[in-house]
């Protein structure tokens, strides 16, 4: 994967190092006619290019290694041991490969003097303006903003779990904790640029290792004791339930590896960008390997097909704590803190659009002209996300549909298409057919996963209730 050449000559590399100044060159337009112009405010203020490869690794880790990984044992419950482990391995290999393809395309264009800072810029240039404007841009916005809403809801649920440990008879509602988490997000959303999040995302990396270690240790402890329900690894005997369960599980695994903002993360790198993203991906996938596999395998081993949608829920059985209370409290605290970092990362595409719309690139980033609309627009964005999360505690079902139509095309299909269109590998080459196979297979899987998600919504619809205290 790392050995695929992007075709750039040494002269082109020198051109990138010598002539691409991120403060003077704008992303190439869809028609590719303007090579030099002032960056718009979104690119200039939110996507400023000052980071190193290790900072890129922090951003990638936060965007991929999120509390959604705590659902992996639940996915294994529908797949069984062999299919579960195989799906996880394939998911890791294909996403690493796809993200590297996307990075190589971005590097190639940067060497030619047209550095793309946004996903829609890539689509505009490679596939045409309509693809960026009517497909990639809207899909990416839905996926990222949906992730913000989902993180806000999960953050509220974890805060409620902490509250009930301290006060089992407490009467605070879920939406109140969602609002509290939204208040934290209101502060973090004002951090000016993606690059400014680098140290927050370093802490996020440490936190994801911490709660994954806790989830793994708790599962091993319960599995080695006589606590909890008897383990059963058999799959459902109902063929319809089993088939839809398999597709739902595959969707969970695929979207857990989801990112959707690779170009925006690569945009934070200081030029020249060649080779830096690959190093960042190596950092990220070292953490992915440790966390995803440990949580998935130990969680499924400890609880079998009784694994809950969020493995920490298995640490409580019929009101009885299977691990010490302080252990659950600590794990949930780590999760809440990392969720805030994940949410603010996925806010960046929205922040970029807001900045481009309301800010003036000719004025200073911290001038009153730009600070006031920035605070107002970002605050309103967080308030809307928090309101949706509080109103729709079943948003996870809706997010599954968004993920199927969003994460899979953005992370599996488009990278392969972009690479083949940009580098035009021979139709007799392994790379061409590998990329084509990935694009076709995951296009089909995206449609099937969306159908399975819609089915789940119909099954759960009778329990849906606005501002429900779940």
Q: Taking residues 253-276, report their average pLDDT.
A: 91
Domain segments of the chain: what residues? 45-102+141-395
- Six-digit token string for 353: 């659009």
Q: What is the pLDDT of residue 383?
A: 96
What pLDDT, on a 0 to 100 scale, did the predictor assign at position 234? 84
What is the percent of the chain where pLDDT is above 90? 59
d(CA 321, CA 228): 9
- What's the pLDDT at 114? 87
33 exposed, middle or buried (CB, 10 Å; 0-12, 13-18, 19+)?
Answer: exposed
Mean pLDDT along residues 63-84? 93
Single pTM value for the model: 0.88
* The predicted structure's pLDDT at residue 448: 87
- pLDDT at residue 245 greater than cutoff 90: no
What are 5's two structure tokens?
Answer: 């050449």
Whole-number Å distance between alpha carbons of 316 and 162: 13
Give the model confidence (pLDDT) of 372-426 as tens digits. Answer: 999 999 999 999 999 999 988 877 777 778 878 888 899 999 999 999 999 999 9
């Amino acid at each position: 994967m790392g050995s695929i050449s992007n075709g750039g000559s040494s002269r082109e590399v020198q051109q990138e190092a010598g002539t691409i100044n991120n403060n003077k060159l704008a992303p190439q337009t869809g028609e590719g006619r303007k090579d030099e112009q002032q960056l718009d405010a979104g690119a200039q203020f939110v996507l400023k290019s000052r980071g190193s490869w290790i900072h890129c690794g922090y951003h990638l880790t936060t965007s991929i290694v999120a509390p959604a990984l705590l659902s992996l044992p639940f996915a294994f419950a529908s797949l069984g041991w062999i299919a579960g482990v195989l799906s996880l391995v394939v998911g890791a290999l294909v996403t690493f490969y796809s993200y590297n393809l996307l990075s190589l395309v971005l590097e190639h264009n940067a060497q030619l003097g047209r550095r793309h800072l946004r996903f829609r810029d890539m689509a505009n240039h490679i596939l045409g303006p309509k693809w960026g404007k009517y497909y990639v841009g809207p899909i990416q916005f839905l996926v990222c903003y949906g992730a913000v809403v989902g993180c806000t809801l999960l953050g509220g649920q974890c805060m409620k779990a902490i509250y009930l440990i301290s006060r089992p008879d407490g009467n605070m509602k879920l939406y109140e904790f969602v609002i509290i988490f939204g208040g934290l997000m209101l502060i973090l959303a004002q951090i000016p640029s993606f690059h400014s999040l680098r140290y927050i995302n370093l802490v996020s990396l440490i936190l994801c290792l911490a709660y994954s270690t806790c989830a793994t240790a708790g599962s091993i402890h319960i599995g080695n004791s006589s606590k909890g329900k008897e383990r059963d690894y058999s799959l459902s005997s109902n063929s319809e339930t089993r088939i839809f369960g398999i597709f739902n599980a595959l969707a969970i695994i695929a979207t857990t590896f989801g990112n959707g903002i690779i170009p925006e993360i690569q945009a934070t790198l200081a030029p020249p960008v060649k080779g830096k993203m690959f190093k960042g991906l190596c950092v990220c996938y070292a953490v992915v390997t440790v966390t995803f596999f440990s949580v998935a395998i130990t969680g499924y081993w400890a609880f079998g097909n009784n694994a809950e949608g969020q493995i920490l829920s298995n640490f409580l059985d019929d009101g009885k704590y299977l691990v010490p209370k302080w252990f659950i409290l600590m794990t949930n605290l780590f999760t809440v803190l990392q969720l805030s970092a994940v949410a603010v990362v996925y806010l960046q595409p929205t922040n970029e659009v807001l900045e481009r719309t309301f800010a003036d690139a000719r004025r200073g980033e911290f001038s009153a002209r730009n600070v006031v609309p920035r605070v107002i627009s970002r605050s309103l964005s967080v308030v809307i996300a928090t309101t949706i999360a509080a109103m729709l505690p079943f948003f996870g079902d809706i997010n599954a549909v968004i993920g199927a139509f969003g994460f899979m095309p953005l992370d599996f299909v488009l990278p392969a298409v972009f690479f083949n269109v940009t580098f035009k590998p021979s139709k007799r080459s392994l790379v061409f057919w590998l990329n084509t196979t990935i694009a076709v297979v995951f296009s089909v899987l995206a449609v099937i996963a969306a159908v399975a998600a819609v089915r789940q919504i119909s099954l759960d619809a009778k329990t849906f209730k606005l501002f429900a205290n779940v």
